[in-house]
Structure 1
Amino acid sequence: MQHFSLTLTSERSSVREARATIRLHLDACGLTPYSDITELLVSELVTNALCHGSGAIRLSLSIRPRTLHCEVRDGSPRIPGVRTARHDEESGRGLFLVQELAHEWGSQVSDTGKAVWFNLELSSPAGRGESAPSSSDRPW
């Protein structure tokens, strides 16, 4: 298993930093086909932590034989929930995207705040030239 983590500040630029760092790490591990979807979902979780959490944000990525696990921690114990955004709202769709695109996701409260996580299934063992799900496998 490969593991990576990064502490982010509570600033808007942290979303960009998280995306860029995830892409670099996935590229280095031979998982480039998973970069786009992972960046999107990490962006949503980091944005939620910035808007609704508190304190520093901790991003972790673990690559297991058939699973990519991402986790975002912040200092707030408030658990996020999926909601249905009205058509005229500019926000409120992030966890819906995570729910729809990740294989599984969840959250957990700890003594120091919460963690929100998601898993993506890898189509073959990590580091063996896997390909991402085809566009026909995606809901969009």
Structure 2
Amino acid sequence: MKNPNLIPPPPISDDGAKEACWDLPAAPEAVGRARRLAREALAAWGLSVLAEDVTVVVSEVVTNAIVHAKSPVTLALFRHGRSVRGEVADHSSVWPAPLSAGPDEEHGRGLAIVTAYADRWGVDPAPEGKTVWFVCTARESS
């Protein structure tokens, strides 16, 4: 069986494409790949200004899916003008829940980080699991 991390993703074109989608394995290395793919898509779409926000949220949501769902995930990004909607689908029906993390705890801040970096986020049921989605919008510079 081929390692999906070794298969190059399809190129992101700047020919008006408004979406990009990738299947990622349930492996820690997939998180870094997800961040890289998101940055590449944003650059191709002329939305590099969103790279920090989107990659932080992608990192948290993909990590949560891999750690808690223990299943491969699908990352999709959709461009809508100056906004990007991200979706991470996994095969678990258990929805994410915010946790209270103390200052010395290593875990429990993921959804707080998503809330801080995304304009809005939520969870939708899927036929075989769920989809965690988020929206980040580029602000007009003054």
Q: How far is the alpha carbon of 1:123 from its aligned partner?
A: 2.9
Give me the identity figure in percent.
35
Moved over 3 A (4+): none
- Which residue type is aligned with residue 37 of structure 2? T
The equivalent of 1:12 in structure 2 is 28
Q: How far is the alpha carbon of 1:54 from its aligned partner?
A: 3.2
Q: Is the 8 A contact 2:93 2:129 kept in 1?
A: yes
Matched, 1:72 2:97: no
* d(CA) in 2 for partners of 1:87, 1:55: 30
* d(CA) in 2 for partners of 1:38, 1:110: 22
- Which residue type is aligned with residue 47 of structure 2? L
Structure 2 unaligned blocks of 5 or more: 1-16
Q: Is the 8 A contact 2:49 2:138 kept in 1?
A: no
**Root mean square deviation of aligned Cα:** 1.6
* d(CA) in 2 for partners of 1:80, 1:55: 15
The equivalent of 1:60 in structure 2 is 76
Tell me the matched-pair count.
Answer: 126
TM value normalised by structure 2: 0.83
TM value normalised by structure 1: 0.84
Q: How does 1:100-115 map to 2 (within 5 A)?
A: 100-115=116-131
Aligned CA distance change for structure 1 residues 81 and 58 (closer, same or farther; 3 Å): same
Structure 1 unaligned blocks of 5 or more: 125-130, 135-140
